[in-house]
Amino acid sequence: MSTIDVPNPLPSPKEDAEELRKAFEGWGTNEKSAIKILGRRTAVQRAEIRRTYAELYKESLLDRLHSELSGDFRKAMILWTMDPAERDAKLVHEALKKKGEKAIWVVIEVSCASTPDHLIAVRRIYRSLFFSSLEEDIASSSMYKEPLRRFLARLVSSYRYTDEYVMRELAKFEASLLHNAIKKNDLHDEDVLRIITTRNKSQLKATFLHYKQLTGKSIDEDIESHSSSQFANMMIRAIWCLAFPEKHFAEVIRYSIEGLGTDEDTLTRAIVCRAEIDMKIIKEEYKSAFKTTVTRDVIGDTSGDYKEILLTLVGSEEP
């Protein structure tokens, strides 16, 4: 579902590193060249370019990008060029210092919209970068109150089974458990927390399907009708990121550009983090939900080289 348009034939990492070096030399930086190279390479290819650049020029490519570029364009290019697990570890670390639901979204996205192996890689890199565990930092954070703090800690600690196998009878039973808890407005019931924080994504999708068959409402609609608390809102976000991540990220992009001013950090995170995963599906969901396109809204709310890197990552689409 990636939207990255890798060229064919593909230049070697050495050729790309040399072209980037040329882009940085002389009077001013050739930003278009940097976008053309880095914006059209996969994570594995970008890692090879970083390694080759460091070997050839004895400096970090990320450091050079930081010194050559500026503003939101620099943030986007550096986040994109980073290793994805390192990027997520740093995004979560920054989010843990901030208040508000937007910061909590970052923790939920990394915990629930990632593969189990990617989440483990994020936790491992987090420890090496910040000399503490992600689980510990969430569990001890003063930014969150219980039961939200416990819920987030359990989400980030999870390692979900990745097979497609689904136990149908269990899905029906757990749909009933969820319904009973939601009716009583008891979202922090142990069964609810256990189901949402441990079940594999295929099993959860089956459970949510049975929930709708049982109640006539989707589980997120039912939660919303019973509670407007922050915990309920974050539970809904976790459910979306686990079972319908394209719905969550379409709303994140829309949120970042609605109203007065653009939330560039949120817009950048959503596009950079999902371009290689499910941006094609996100674009479809966005068009269905908001009757416009990601491309049109990015063009309307951004400018210059920042706009160009975002459009490169979003990929071709009718504006």
Cβ count near 28 (within 10 Å): 9
**19 among the known binding-site residues?**
no
What the block records as the tokens of 185 is: 């407005």
Query: 302 a known binding residue?
Result: yes
Sign of CA dihedral 239, 1, 115, 161: positive
Which residue stretches of 82-115 are H helix? Answer: 84-95, 101-112
CA 279 to chain centre: 11
Q: How far apart are CA 112 and CA 107, in angstroms?
A: 8
Residue 261 marked in a binding site: yes
Main-chain phi, psi angles of 262, to 5 degrees: -105, 135
116 preceded by a cis bond (ω within 30 of 0):
no
Integer Cα distance of 27 and 139 in angstroms = 49
Radius of gyration over every alpha carbon of the chain, rounded to an integer in angstroms? 21
Kindly state the helix (H) or strand (E) to which residue 250 belongs, with its residue range. helix 245-257
Q: How far apart (Å, rounded) are the C-alpha atoms in residues 129 and 115?
A: 21
The reply to whether 257 sits in an annotated binding site is yes
284 labeled binding residue: no
How far is 252 from 266, CA to CA, in rounded Å? 7
Task: Answer yes or no: is 28 a known binding residue.
Answer: yes
Torsion angle of the four alpha carbons 192, 195, 198, 200, in this order, in degrees rounded to the nearest 10: -150
Binding residues for Ca(2+), as ranges, are 24, 26, 28, 68, 257, 261, 301-302
Binding residues, as ranges, are 24, 26, 28, 68, 257, 261, 301-302
